[in-house]
Amino acid sequence: MTEAPTATRTPTQTRAYREGQLVAQGFPLSEVSDHLETDGCTVWVDLTDPTEADFDDLEDELGLHELAVEDALQDGQRPKVDRYENHLFTALYDVSFDAASGELTTSEVKAFLTAKALVTIHHADFDASRLEKAFDQSPDLAAHGVSFLLWGVLDVVVDRHFEAVDALDDEIEGIADDLFDPAPRTLDVQKRSFALRKSLVRLRRVASPMREVLNTLLRRDLHDLDPVMQPYYQDVYDHVVRVAEQNDSLRDLVSTILDTNLNLQSNRMNGIMKKVTSWAAIIAVPTAITGFYGQNVPYPGFSTVGGFVTSCVLIVGVGGVLWWQFRKRDWL
């Protein structure tokens, strides 16, 4: 099934559910309270880059706390759940990983949760059609109202975290294979490793606090969620733990790759120096012998063919012995 492009969506989407069935959609914000007055009706409002006027309308319709509205207007919130007298406010992060550049991008998603309404707020780079798809795929759970709607948001966001960490895992495995490539690509491995490590740190910053978010929602003494939905939230929590653990493992693996790359580079340099030194020792033999026979003083074989032959034999013989010994010790 092809997802609807983000560009075709309007800045404000509204839906009303009754007993798990979609009964209305596309109605203005001013009618939200009318639907909420209907027994068994749950409303989902989705806002893309809302203005302060939109929030003023929501405050009037849902009675939102001014501090929660202030947090919703400001970017850069830490993933969290805040409790107010008649609603919850949560800040989450959707993520997207680009394998070509190794860069992870994040998109902030915020939500208000009242007894009968869920309001999601995000920027245009977040594809809210994924939420619609998640809601439509589980009509049997939709009867559980806002507990179901919030679970759908959390499930979509955490699944994106899962996709990102799996993609990072594949990329890091590729780097590990490149480490022992016969044609070393030291600079490429270092640049790629640093880019992936940066993405892992960014993912950890937005994924790890999700434990606290789910722990807060799973507290049975708060009675914010329908008990029937508790196992579904627990399942999301398990995914959050797995993402966090895999992220930590990958960060350790990237550090190991960087250390191994440096060690391999050092070993290659040692091998090169060993070979250069061995050849220098071999080249020193003819230099020493020809230097001795080049003395301007009489000695046995001076200025004779026998002296020339003797020097040549010594050069070849001693050089050959050194070459054989260095080769035997794997220095050449």
| Segment 119-153, tens digit of pLDDT | 999 998 898 888 988 888 888 888 888 999 999 99
Residue 4's pLDDT band (cuts 50, 70, 90) = very low
Please check the confidence at residue 222 and state whether its pLDDT lies above 70: no
More confident residue, 134 or 326: 134
Give the CA distances from residue 149 to residues 34, 54, 123, 213, 300, in Å, rounded to whole numbers and listed in that order: 19, 21, 19, 16, 103
End-of-domain residue from the set 209, 233, 264? 264
Q: What's the whole-number mean pLDDT along residues 313-324?
A: 82
Instruction: Say if CB 200 and CB 251 are below 8 A apart.
Output: yes
Q: What's the whole-number mean pLDDT along residues 8-17?
A: 76
Note whether 166 and 209 are same-domain residues.
yes
Residue whose token pair is 């075709």: 8
Q: What's the whole-number mean pLDDT along residues 8-37?
A: 82
Note whether 221 and 310 are same-domain residues.
no
Residue 7's pLDDT band (cuts 50, 70, 90) = very low
Instruction: Say if CB 87 and CB 65 are below 8 A apart.
Output: yes
Q: What are the start-end ranges of the E strands in the chain?
A: 12-18, 21-25, 41-48, 80-83, 88-98, 103-113, 117-122
Q: What is the pLDDT of residues 191-219, one digit of tens each?
A: 888 889 999 999 999 999 999 999 988 88
Range of the domain at 257: 7-264
Other beta carbons within 10 angstroms of residue 19's beta carbon come to 12
Note whether 110 and 237 are same-domain residues.
yes
Give me the pLDDT at residue 317, please: 83
Note whether 136 and 50 are same-domain residues.
yes
Mapped onto helix, strand or coil, the DSSP state of residue 42 is strand
Q: Is residue 55 assigned to a domain?
A: yes
Note whether 258 and 299 are same-domain residues.
no
Q: Which of 212-228 are b and which e, b meaning 16 or more Cβ less than 10 Å from the residue's Cβ?
A: ebbebbeeeeeebbbee
Note whether 226 and 279 are same-domain residues.
no
Alpha carbons 322 and 278: distance in angstroms, whole number: 8
Task: Kindly report the CATH number assigned to the domain that includes residue 34.
Answer: 3.30.460.20
Give the CA distances from residue 114 to residues 14, 44, 284, in Å, rounded to whole numbers and listed in that order: 15, 10, 87
End-of-domain residue from the set 248, 264, 280? 264
Note whether 35 and 83 are same-domain residues.
yes
For β-strands 117-122 and 41-48, DSSP reports them as parallel
Instruction: Say if CB 269 and CB 287 are below 8 A apart.
Output: no
Instruction: Say if CB 40 and CB 28 are below 8 A apart.
Output: no
